[in-house]
Structure 1
C-alpha cells in the first residue's frame, strides 16, 4: 500500500537484510566517505546518522567527530559499543531527535517516505547555523541497465526485472525512484544554501556487490515479482546471473547533495 508512511520494500527484519547492508556499504561507503571528508575537520561536531542501516557510516563518523547518534525504525543491525549511540526512531511520526545538529546524513532513506519533503524540511531546520545536511539517493528511475550479458534472453530478463521492481513494486510501496533528481531543488526550497550535488555510477559485473543486489532484491520482493509475471525459473536465473561475470549492469546513479544552514 502507498500511504503517508508507505511500506518499506526492504525490511530490516528479513533474514537477508544483513547482507543487503553489507553490499550497500561496499557499494556506497567510498563515495559517502569522500563527501564527508570534504566537509573538513569534524572533530567535536554533533552528528546524526538517519536511517543508519548497518551502521558503517555511523562508525566512521564516531572515529572522527563528536557525539554520533544513529537512528533507524528497526535498528537491529546497529552494533552496541561501536562508538555511536543508537535510537529506535520513526522519521515520519516523531520529531528529529535532540536538535540542533552540526551534521545530519541520510542515505537511501527519504526516497522511501511519501512525506519525504516534509521530513527534509524538518531535518534542515534541526541544524545549527552553518550546520550541514548531506543526503544521498539513487536515481533508479533511469532505464537501460544492461551493459553486457551472456545472451539476449539474459539481457531481456534483467531489464524486465528492473522495470518491474523500479516501475511498479517500489512506487507501490511509496518509493519515488526519481526523487534523487529533485533533491537539489528541495534542499534549496528548505532554506539551505551553498547546495551542491555530485552524481556517480560505475559498472557492476556479476559477482560484485552491485550485481549481487539483484539476488537480494529477488529474495525480498519475490512475491511481487511473481505477481508481476516473472516465474520461479526467471527468478532462479536472475540469482545465477547476479554471480555471472558475463553480466555487467550499469550502477544506479548516486546523487549526493549537500547543503548548509544559513
Structure 2
C-alpha cells in the first residue's frame, strides 16, 4: 500500500524500499502459507491490491503460470517491477472501480486499515470476485499495549512503550488509519455475504536486529515530524532507532489477522 497525502508511509520516501523489504521478511511466510492453503492457483485470475514492493505479486505469478493473470496495483507503484511476471497498474482503490473484474483471488495486505473509506472498498472488492472467488485480507492489529517483552532497563522499556502508544494512538489514526480494524474483518466479510470465512491470527517475538524490530527505525524515519509534534526529542528518537538493532530489546510482534472468505 502506498501514499496519498494522508497516508502514513509514503512510497516516495527514501525509506520506503527498505520498509517493503522488512515487511516482506516479516509477513511473506504467513501470507504464502495462507495462499497455499487456498489450493492450486494455476490459471487463476489474481488481483494484488496495495502491492507495495511486489513480493507476493511475484509469488502469485509463479503459481498461476502462463495461463493465469496477476495484476498488482498501487496508488504509487514505483517499487513494483515491470519484469516480475505480473502486470502493474497505478490505481486509487478509494476512488476508482476495482480493475478488470471478475477475479478468482483478491489479496490485500496492510491496506484497508489505512483507508478511511475501508467499508466501501471492502464492498467493491467483494463485488469484483468471480463466483467461488476468494478474498484474503491481512491486517496488523497493533492497538494493544504491552509491546516490550524484554529491555536493557525500565527506562528503555518505557520509551519503547511510549513510542508504540504514540504511533497507534495518535499518528496512524491522525492519518485516517485504524490500528484495530483487522479484529473486525471477520465480521465484515460475513456481513459482505462471503461464505466459509476463516481467520488465523499469528504473532511472534521480534528481537532487536530482526526485520520486525527494525520497523521501529523505519517508522521513525518516515514519521519523525509527527513524533516530534507528540513531544519526542531528537535524542529520544535516535535512541529508539538504535534500539531497533539492539538484541537486548525484544518486542511482541503485531497480531496478524489473516481473514479469507469465498463468494457464492
**Shared fold per TM-score greater than 0.5:** yes
Per the alignment, in what secondary structure is the counterpart of residue 170 of structure 2?
helix
Q: What's the counterpart of residue 16 of structure 2?
A: 17
Q: Which residue of the partner structure matches residue 52 of structure 1?
A: 51
Q: 2:32 matched to which residue of 1?
A: 33
1:214 counterpart (213, 216, 240):
216
Give the superposition deviation at 1:143: 1.2
Count residues with an aligned counterpart: 258
Quote how far apart the aligned CAs of 1:6 are: 7.5
Cα root mean square deviation, aligned: 0.8
1:169-197: CA deviation from partner (whole Å, max 9, x where unpaired): 10000000110110000001111010000
- Aligned residue for 1:64, secondary structure, equals helix
Helix, strand or coil for the counterpart of 2:78?
A: helix
Q: Is the 8 A contact 1:58 1:68 kept in 2?
A: yes
The correspondence of residues 33-182 of structure 1 with structure 2, limited to 5 A, is 33-65=32-64, 66-182=68-184
Q: 1-side partners of 2:76 and 2:51: how far apart?
A: 10
Judge conservation of contact 1:6–1:112 (CA < 8 Å) in 2: no
Distance 2:250 2:83 in 1: 39
Give the whole-Å Cα distance in 2 for the aligned partners of 1:199 and 1:143.
17
5 Å-filtered alignment, 1:170-249, equals 170-249=172-251
Please list every run of 5 or more consecutive structure 2 residues that lacks an aligned counterpart in the other structure: none
Deviation at residue 7 of structure 1 after TM alignment: 1.0
Question: C-alpha displacement at 1:255, in angstroms?
Answer: 0.1
Q: CA deviation at 1:142?
A: 1.1
Structure 1 residue runs without a partner (length 5+): none
| Structure 1 position 80, deviation (Å) | 1.0
CA distance in 2 between counterparts of 1:236 and 1:176 reads 26
CA contact (8 A) 1:71 1:88 kept: yes
Scaled by the length of structure 1, the TM-score of the pair is 0.98
Q: After superposition, what is the alpha-carbon deviation per residue over 1:21-79, rounded to whole angstroms, capped at 9, x for unaligned?
A: 00000000000000000001000000000000000000000001111000000000000
Structure-1 separation of matches of 2:237 and 2:116: 29
Q: Distance in 1 between matches of 2:188 and 2:145?
A: 23
Partners in 1 of 2:198 and 2:101 — Cα distance? 24
Report SS of the residue matched to 1:79: coil
Deviation beyond 2 Å, 4+ runs, structure 1? none
- TM-score, normalised with respect to structure 2: 0.97
Structure 2 CA distance for aligned equivalents of residues 208 and 102 of structure 1: 35
Q: Could you say what secondary structure the match of 1:221 adopts?
A: helix
Hey, what's the Cα distance between the residues in 1 that align with 2:116 and 2:128?
Answer: 20
Give, in whole Å, the separation in 1 of the partners of 2:87 and 2:81.
9
| 8 Å CA contact 1:6, 1:174 repeated in 2 | no
